[in-house]
Amino acid sequence: MNKKLVIKAEDELISALRNNDVVGFESKLHTDLFFRIPTGDIVGKLDHTESMKTGDLKVESLTVRDQEIKIIDDIAMVAVFKDMIGSYKDSPFEGSFQYIRVWKLINGELKIISGAGIQI
- The residue among 74, 60, 67 whose CA lies nearest residue 99 is 67
State whether the Cα torsion 24-75-42-39 is positive or negative.
negative
Which sequence spans correspond to the domains of the chain?
3-119
- Which overall architecture, per CATH, does domain 3-119 show? Roll (3.10)
pLDDT digits (tens, 9 = 90+) for 90-117: 889 899 999 999 999 999 999 999 999 9
State whether the Cα torsion 93-44-120-77 is positive or negative.
negative
pLDDT digits (tens, 9 = 90+) for 58-71: 888 999 999 999 99
Say which range, 22-26, 53-57, 72-76, has the weakest mean pLDDT: 53-57
SS3 content of the chain, % helix, strand, coil (to 5): 25, 55, 20
Taking the whole predicted model, whether its pTM rises above 0.85 is answered as yes
